[in-house]
Amino acid sequence: MADLPYSEKVVIITGGSSGIGKGCAQEFIRAGSHLVICCNNQAEGEAVVSSLNEVAQAQGSGSAIFIYCDVRETEDIRLLIEKAIAHHGRIDCLINNAGWHPPHKPIDDFSVEEFRELLNLNLVSIFSASKFALPYLRQTQGNIINMSSLVATIGQHHATTYVATKGAITAFTKALAVDEAPHGVRVNSVSPGNVYTPLWQEAIDQASDPEEYRSRGEAAQLLGRMGQIEEVGRLCLFIASQATFTTGVDHVISGGAELGYAQKSRNGHLESHYGLIEAGVGAQASLPAKVE
């Protein structure tokens, strides 16, 4: 068996059954980790865990279990941590990935309650998972990786609620890094740009010209393509296993989407395709009617 970079470490991934969370799971299982995958879709979660365990068995290292968890529910998160400890006895890394990007619309069309619900899903869930996991992460001097978004720093058209939650995640990460440094716990965030996920494909399928829609989405990056979920997973693995002098840092993985000048308005009006800059940025999992 080859020397694996995160062998025997216990890693919890919220929203780990699809999108970026699944990409993280695939990379960490190849690194020999013991994964705890949570989402609120039992069948999808169990199917992903089954495929992860096939990889683990083939390489002779690592494992994966599924625990149902709706991160909107505080008690579900508490039970997730308790069950992970009951099964493995330790936690080395928590990846707070679960979240959702609502449809684009102006602030006038968002209700206050919709904003509160998104805050609970995207932000409060990260606070809760971190709070409940930290007593165990302090014992192992482990680390937390919070999934933010490129738009937390550059903004996004008709996405005030989402951008606010992601900006708060980046700020929360830095504040928690300060508090946990004396305990040897590192806390970092990752800010993806356009990463090809099920939510991106859904947007492509619904477009009047799917081929043109995808082409323009790819052209938003200097590298001329969208990122892959495995690329975000590899960044998270590097942060967890090798970037041991890194804490409180937001790691942007965007293909250069935020760099350089570009036409953004015409006669004072935003271009109609402006939303293409992020039809799926930060959309860790496909969540039209479900929550990871």
Residues with a known catalytic role: 162
In whole angstroms, give the CA distance from residue 162 to residue 183. Answer: 32
In whole angstroms, give the CA distance from residue 216 to residue 182. Answer: 46
b/e for 126-162, b at 16 or more Cβ within 10 A? bbbbbebbbebbeeeebbbbbbbbbbbebebbbbebb
Candidates 121, 114, 66, 81; CA nearest to 99 is 121
Candidates 155, 154, 231, 236; CA nearest to 190 is 236
In whole angstroms, give the CA distance from residue 291 to residue 286. Answer: 8
Q: Residues 218, 196: contact at Cβ < 8 Å? A: no
How many CB atoms are located within 10 Å of the residue 2 CB? 9
